[in-house]
C-alpha cells in the first residue's frame, strides 16, 4: 500500500516507510547497510511495522522518483537537498 487509507496506519504504508528511510539517510549509505539499519530499528521498536525487502525497494523507488534521494558514483544512496 503506497498511501495510508481508512484501515491502514501510516507506518504500514510505503509513504510512511519512505519517511523512515529518509530519517536513516543522514549520511550516504549503500542499500545493504540501509536495510540493516532499518531492521535494527524494527527490532528495537523505533519503527512499529515490519516491511519486507520488496516493500523497502518500492519505497526507495518512490523516493528516487519524487527526487528525495539519489545515487552517487560509488553506488551509495543519499538525501537530496
Residue-wise pLDDT tens digits, 47-78: 888 899 999 999 999 999 999 999 999 999 99
Residue 37 has pLDDT above 90, yes or no: yes
Chain-wide mean pLDDT for the chain?
90
pTM score, two decimals? Answer: 0.87
Residue 66 lies in a domain: yes
CATH number at residue 48: 1.10.10
- Domain extent, residue 22, equals 10-79
SS (H, E, C) 14-62: HHHHHHHHHHHCCCCECHHHHHHHHHHHHHHCCCCCCCCHHHHHHHHHH
Q: Into how many domains does the chain fold?
A: 1
Residue 3 lies in a domain: no
Amino acid at each position: 500500500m503506497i498511501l495510508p487509507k481508512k484501515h491502514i496506519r501510516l507506518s504500514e504504508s510505503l509513504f510512511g516507510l519512505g519517511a523512515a528511510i529518509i530519517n536513516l539517510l543522514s549520511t550516504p549509505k549503500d542499500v545493504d547497510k540501509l536495510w540493516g539499519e532499518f531492521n535494527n530499528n524494527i527490532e528495537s521498536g523505533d519503527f512499529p511495522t515490519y516491511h519486507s525487502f520488496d516493500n523497502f525497494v518500492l519505497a526507495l523507488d518512490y523516493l528516487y522518483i519524487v527526487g528525495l534521494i539519489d545515487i552517487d558514483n560509488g553506488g551509495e544512496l543519499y538525501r537530496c537537498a
